[in-house]
Amino acid sequence: MKTLMVFDFDHTVVDDNSDTWVISCLPGQTLPDSVENSYRKGHWTEFMGRVMKYIGDQDISPDRVRSVMETIPFTAGMKDLLAFISEHKSTIDCIVISDSNTLFIDWILQASGLQAAVDQVFSNPAKVNELGYMEVHGYHSHDCDKCPVNMCKRKVLELYLSERSDGGVKYERLFYVGDGGNDLCPSFCLRGHDVVMPRKGFTLEKLLARLEGQKDDASVKAKVIAWSSATEILEELKASM
């Protein structure tokens, strides 16, 4: 029986938003209003596609973007937590489910030397195309009305757990670590002995607090433990082993 660690990425693994961090590669570190004002609620990935095109139009190379992405800070204690997970791969599986994109996440993890901690990354697929431009596409389509159009993290997690179960892997405990509103939906598929860990002061913590005392069908069954440093997550993980 193994433990599964599930991480969001932005403001969870890293202490900022990787999608907005990329803007620091631009002259003046700002987007023109025509791009900045094109965002529509729930359609962030489409917006990021326009940001990536604009970056390419400025003749900023993917290598330059990568060097900027590699400077994003990790959340306090997170590198120690990921190093611990790397050393215990026989008993701990670890995945990232993020509404960022695969290119940024892979670059950041590789630069940290900690990519061995993470078994799989589920995020919006991104690549450098034949013109040398970065491009990004939505992860999947779904029918969940609580989530952004391009990703329902609950569906991603449920499919992963189903496939692992079919392969004979059962998880004794699951830790879900996140911060944002889109981390609430996957929290509903956790069991009573699982743990959802919202970052203190962020949206997920507030949403979970509002659900306390709700009827069974509207409640999160998992134990809720808020964190401000990944050292606290590591302590909970060690205590469960």
- Count the neighbouring beta carbons within 10 Å of the beta carbon of residue 194: 20
Which token pair is 102? 């695969």
- Give me the torsion for CA of 60, 61, 62, 63, rounded to 10°: -120
Contact, 227 vs 75, CB < 8 A?
A: no
Catalogue the active-site residues.
Answer: 8, 10
Contact, 90 vs 156, CB < 8 A?
A: no
Phi-psi region of 171 (alpha: psi -120 to 50; beta: other; left: phi over 0): beta
Contact, 127 vs 103, CB < 8 A?
A: yes
Which token pair is 68? 């900027």
